[in-house]
Structure 1
Amino acid sequence: MSAATYPSVTLHNVAETAPADWTADGDRLCRVPASVGDDLNDDARERVRHPTHSEVRFVPETDDDEIEVTLSAPERARARVFWGSFQPWQAIEIGPTPETLSLGVPDRLRSLDESVDVGRFDPRVCRIAFERFTPAALHDVRGDCRPPAPDELPDRRYLAYGTSITEGAKASAAHLSYVSRVARNCGLDAVNLACSGSAYCEPALADYVADRDDWDVATFALSVNMANAGFSPSEFRERADYFVNTVADAHPEKPIACVTLFPYYADVAEEGDADVAAAYRDVLRSVVEDSPHDNLSLVAGTDLLSASELTWDVLHPGDGGMESIGDGLARHLETRLD
């Protein structure tokens, strides 16, 4: 998104902005339009107003230009300023009082040899990347800068939908989530539409993804949230079938990988319900097998990581688990991408 209010930057993984209710003049970064969010469950409606994997991107007009970007959040929050693929030493902190960052091309990146492999992004693309935990607002951008050009960015986009695992919960930072790892491994630009605790495969979101034409490959990790919320396997089948096939029908040329439930406490804890977990995996497998769309493929979540790679809640992968998922999914997608 390139908002008319901020013509000198690109708002990545931002569908629209809305007034921020914690500050007088900030524009809250929202991943999904309100017109879509209004048709989602209450928790998902709020989650898509969080800036998971959202970024403010710009390129200074010259290496000597300093760009001032003013941000806020309703409570203490972290963001990271990448230059291209080059990671900062530490996160920055923002909070309710608007904070102005002064950003310029780092000295050593100005003098990189042209033969250096700089990764997916041009190193002069500044990327202010937000975490999933807290809403964020943009207030102002000052200085001589412009939105990144297409040849300064990855030429293909990866859209991910799923639960808090897909949002990157329990990863030490957003760039260590499995979605970020898949994007990095495959040379893609990530668009993350996951909904922590509320990924219920809702038709409104399926229709929205189907209507979007700004992505090239997708993964749908479906959906431990529905299992934990008590949706029956038949209810899951109805929603998953609509979600998967609606998107596949609209984009028959784009690879879509459906990921069954990762290992979690239902499989390994005495109080878990392994039968429900198995039924959910079987349902998604049959949805893909019965689909008329050959751009769909299935990945078994149990093949991507082991229970030992989960965090103490025996639900969310730790950093090692995120790495295993990202590497395995990337290998699968590479077989599907031209």
Structure 2
Amino acid sequence: MVIQGVGLHNIAEIEELGEGRGIQLSRVPAKVRLALNEKAQGRALLGAGSELRFNLEGDEAILTFLHEPLDRSAGFAGPKGVFEVYQGDYQGAYDTTPQLMAEGGETRLVVRRSRKHEQLLRRRYDEGLLTFDPSLLRVMLPNDLQVRLHRIEGAVTPPRRGQAPAGRLLVYGSSITAGGDAVLPSGSYAHAAARRLGTDLINLGFSGSCHVEPAMADYIAARGDWHYAVLELGVNVIDFMPLAEFEQRVRYMLRTIADSSRDRWVFCTDLFTCHRDYDRDPLIAEYRDIVRRTVRSLKQETIVYISGRELLPDDRALTIDLLHPSAEGMQEIARRLARRIRLHAEPQ
């Protein structure tokens, strides 16, 4: 999707709100969003994994974003957010990125293209050593904040064919998948795994509202633009959804995606290491077992189960809530996940 010369990545639908309120960005179409639980309807408007991409034809571009204080009970998170600016595969200079957006008001991002080492980077890209074109500007939106695009100023053109990786990794899951507590947008395990695999990222993480819903299963199955999918299931429903209902939803999601994706790889994981393991909560084993058994019952080579404890074995890689991975934990998950994906999905 392109608006005012800027490509919107990981954005499925926009709505112009009028009266100076900017453009609302949604990671899923409205017909899907409104079929989800109420909290997820709000979380779909958060920026997890979303980017504004463009080629800068002049000296600089100025992107203006709006954020208004919202009722968090309706599904909106975060009192503040962080933007990052990348140029191709490379993080921007420290005077450009990261930039903080506090709750309420307007934020103006001034984006400039660095021409230092331009020929060297171009040569590396032409030799296949980089995944993104080094002239492509990428503004990463905050993971846990709803921001609205207000204005784009400057001479910009949309991304050209071939400037981003053709391969795509799609992820669906909880706040952990969305990048909660990752500190920076690029710090999520999903972003880091995609980078290690040389793929682009489609992030469908829903903080506190990953309810394994049929509408999301149908949507993921119908998308033809991903090559690998990672499904992180269970942590948001363990406190309220009965085991039988969870199993029914997991079975529907996996069967639906499997039936549409026999030439694509799906990696399904369960609850990562968390406080429930150290409290010896027997319920967590039952939820994990449902995911494991359902994957294995499909008997399909391209649907692979990976234990959440295997991906994050060390509780010291958690934040103090003993649930969300720390910055170190996010990178550990990414390393282990990318290794498993390569093991199964890439030719030997």
Both structures adopt the same fold (TM-score exceeding 0.5): yes
Q: Kindly state the Cα deviation for residue 184 of structure 1 after the two structures are TM-superposed.
A: 0.8
Superposed CA deviations along residues 93-129 of structure 1, whole A, max 9, x for unmatched, are 3454444433231131534354446632111111110
Determine if contact 2:24/2:147 at 8 Å carries over to the other structure. Answer: yes
Q: Are 2:274 and 1:264 equivalent residues in the alignment?
A: yes
Q: Are 2:1 and 1:9 equivalent residues in the alignment?
A: no
Amino acid at match of 2:60: E
- Following the alignment from structure 2 to structure 1, what is the Cα–Cα distance between the partners of residues 269 and 292? 9
- Following the alignment from structure 2 to structure 1, what is the Cα–Cα distance between the partners of residues 229 and 181? 22
Q: Are 2:89 and 1:81 equivalent residues in the alignment?
A: no
Comparing 12-21 with 288-297, which one deviates more in the overlay? 12-21
For residue 280 of structure 1, the aligned residue among 266, 280, 287 is 287
Q: Are 2:61 and 1:67 equivalent residues in the alignment?
A: yes
- Following the alignment from structure 1 to structure 2, what is the Cα–Cα distance between the partners of residues 254 and 91? 35
Comparing 74-83 with 286-295, which one deviates more in the overlay? 74-83
Q: Kindly state the Cα deviation for residue 91 of structure 1 after the two structures are TM-superposed.
A: 1.4
Q: Are 2:324 and 1:316 equivalent residues in the alignment?
A: yes
Cα RMSD after superposing both structures: 1.9
Superposed CA deviations along residues 260-302 of structure 1, whole A, max 9, x for unmatched, are 2111111102xx62x1111111111111111153320010111
Q: Are 2:22 and 1:26 equivalent residues in the alignment?
A: yes
Q: Kindly state the Cα deviation for residue 20 of structure 1 after the two structures are TM-superposed.
A: 5.0
Q: Are 2:302 and 1:295 equivalent residues in the alignment?
A: yes
Q: Kindly state the Cα deviation for residue 29 of structure 1 after the two structures are TM-superposed.
A: 1.3
Amino acid at match of 1:73: H
Q: Are 2:127 and 1:146 equivalent residues in the alignment?
A: no
Superposed CA deviations along residues 173-229 of structure 1, whole A, max 9, x for unmatched, are 12111101100110011110011111010001111111111111100011211113x
Q: Give the secondary structure class of the aligned counterpart of 2:55.
A: strand
Q: Give the secondary structure class of the aligned counterpart of 2:205.
A: coil
Determine if contact 1:72/1:94 at 8 Å carries over to the other structure. Answer: no
Structure 1 outlier segments of 4+, above 6 Å? none
Amino acid at match of 1:259: T
Q: Give the secondary structure class of the aligned counterpart of 2:116.
A: helix
Superposed CA deviations along residues 27-54 of structure 1, whole A, max 9, x for unmatched, are 0111011211111111111101111111
Q: Are 2:44 and 1:48 equivalent residues in the alignment?
A: yes
Identity value in percent:
33
Amino acid at match of 1:209: I
Superposed CA deviations along residues 43-88 of structure 1, whole A, max 9, x for unmatched, are 1111011111111100123xx4422322222255321111111113
- Following the alignment from structure 2 to structure 1, what is the Cα–Cα distance between the partners of residues 67 and 120? 35
Instruction: Pick closer, same or farther for the CA change 1:38–1:310 going to 2, 3 Å.
Output: same
Show the counterpart of 2:248: 238
Show the counterpart of 1:215: 226
Amino acid at match of 2:185: A
Show the counterpart of 2:115: 107
* Structure 1 unaligned spans of 5+: none
- Following the alignment from structure 1 to structure 2, what is the Cα–Cα distance between the partners of residues 225 and 18? 28
Determine if contact 2:21/2:66 at 8 Å carries over to the other structure. Answer: no
- Following the alignment from structure 2 to structure 1, what is the Cα–Cα distance between the partners of residues 45 and 173? 16
- Following the alignment from structure 1 to structure 2, what is the Cα–Cα distance between the partners of residues 307 and 198? 23
Instruction: Pick closer, same or farther for the CA change 1:101–1:302 going to 2, 3 Å.
Output: closer
* Structure 2 unaligned spans of 5+: 70-79
Instruction: Pick closer, same or farther for the CA change 1:312–1:102 going to 2, 3 Å.
Output: closer
Determine if contact 2:121/2:134 at 8 Å carries over to the other structure. Answer: no
Q: Structure 1 length normalisation: TM-score?
A: 0.91
Show the counterpart of 2:145: 134
Q: Kindly state the Cα deviation for residue 336 of structure 1 after the two structures are TM-superposed.
A: 2.9
Show the counterpart of 1:255: 265
Instruction: Pick closer, same or farther for the CA change 1:109–1:54 going to 2, 3 Å.
Output: farther
Comparing 185-194 with 80-89, which one deviates more in the overlay? 80-89
Amino acid at match of 1:267: D
Show the counterpart of 2:73: none
